[in-house]
Amino acid sequence: MIRLIVADLARGFRLWLGLAAVSAAVGAALTFAFGLAAQPRPAEGDLDQLFSSLSGTILIFTGIVVLIVASSASVLVMNLRRRSLALWQIVGILPGQVFVVSVMQVMLTALVGAVAGGLLGLSMYVPLYDYGLASMSEGLPQPAIRLSSFAWAVVTSVAVIVLAGLRGARSASRTSPVRILREPEPVSTGWGRWVRAAACALAVAGTVALPLSMRGEGHQSITGIAPLLPVLFAAALAVGGPLVYAGVLRAWTAVVPARFTAWYLARNSAAARASASTAAIGPVMAAIAMVGGLYAAGMTLAVAPSNSWGDFSIDPSQLVLLFGAPLLVAIVGAAGAVYTTGSDRQRERALLTAAGAAPGMLLRVAVCEAVILVVTSVLLAMAVIVLSVVLIATVVDASSIRLAPAPIVIIGGSALGLIVAATVIPALAGRRMSVMSALAAE
């Protein structure tokens, strides 16, 4: 069994490399977040309260983004593995052995990535600590990271990724191989869809009720949770997963006329590849909602009648400190999702080539699909941000709401460039492979 695990990892290195990259980003981010939470505190007083609040906020931001990205990456890998696992059962490998091998592969990949990322986090902790906290106060203690933070980061990274992949591994090992070969993408039907939809609705309702319950308690009550509301809403939408993302994707792309063949093919490809689209949309949505939501919440609070600190502003070093770790996870997660599906996209391009599509058409399809994924992420993030600031304005009786377009444009544009590169570069490289070779590859 060990030989099977190692041989299959080496054979499908592209798929596992994407998961390892996500695990490394998660390990690095959690090492920094746990290290900051375990950092020796200043003397009691306002400085200690500021440091505790800051470290707690960073840990919450990082934790929510890690759950969204790591779980979707693990689910994506297991969904892409369904066809190979079905072939294993056809040649005589027992379902229980298929399950064990799948879990061991995910665990080994996550462990290697988390250790590498944790070591990177250790090396970057002191520079980021000095840079991010230098503008806040001169009385903070010297940075001192413990190895226990590294250990907890590795264990947490592996645990999140493995637990997220258990369901996919169990489903692939218990489902009939014939059904898997006929339907490679798992379809959620019946009670599964209703349970997921109900859980998403309850999560959104609970997040809406949180700020409303603070009405009348004063300005300071809502100020503490205002920056977290967009991230909490993003996590609530992530509970709905493919149901929410695919619904929004189909809704807005249906409005755009399919006058161009490339757009038509990209639209249907993104809608049909639900797990891959979910793994790419979720991280970008979380990143935009997190940064754009912070600015929108701060600017909305600034126009409240009870505001006493003036205009909202944030130092660039504080921005890096707050969002550096979760943005790293989100960016790597989105790119890793696109990279992981490279082999499926290669077979898809081979089919289009066999049907007569020109190389230029394949590149246009790749660009259009990247645009569809990013626009869907932006629309979801905008809905999250607007809902959050409306609730904040309601609680503090603000005369209007404020939005910050700059973070949305910058993060959305960066994500678009990254995803376009992750789709176009493999498409250009894949032109060297013959159509028969691409279609025959498993």
User: Helix, strand, coil proportions of the chain in percent (round to 5)?
Assistant: 80, 0, 20
Supply the DSSP string of 228-241, one letter for each residue. Answer: GHHHHHHHHHHHHT
91: which DSSP letter?
T
Supply the DSSP string of 370-438, one letter for each residue. Answer: HHHHHHHHHHHHHHHHHHHHHHHHHHHT-SS----HHHHHHHHHHHHHHHHHHHHHHHHHGGGS-HHHH
Please give the pLDDT value at position 296: 87
Q: How many degrees, rounded to 5, is the angle at CA 283 between CA 73 and CA 232?
A: 110
> What whole-number percentage of the chain has pLDDT above 70?
77
Among 83, 103, 211, smallest CA distance to 164 is for 103
Q: Say how far apart CA 397 and CA 306 lie, in whole Å.
A: 9
For the stretch 259-282, pLDDT in tens is: 788 888 888 887 777 767 788 888
The torsion angle over the Cα atoms of residues 417, 420, 424 and 426, rounded to 10 degrees, is 100
Q: Are 102 and 173 in contact (CB under 8 A)?
A: yes
Q: Say how far apart CA 401 and CA 290 lie, in whole Å.
A: 17
H or E element, residue 224: helix 219-225
Judge whether residue 399 has pLDDT over 80. no
Q: Say how far apart CA 155 and CA 72 lie, in whole Å.
A: 18
Supply the DSSP string of 146-181, one letter for each residue. Answer: -HHHHHHHHHHHHHHHHHHHHHHHHHHHHS-HHHHH
What phi and psi values does residue 290 have, to the nearest 5 degrees?
-65, -55
Please give the pLDDT value at position 404: 82
| Six token digits for residue 271 | 């809608």
For the stretch 109-156, pLDDT in tens is: 899 999 999 999 888 888 887 777 765 556 666 777 778 888 999 999
Please give the pLDDT value at position 256: 81
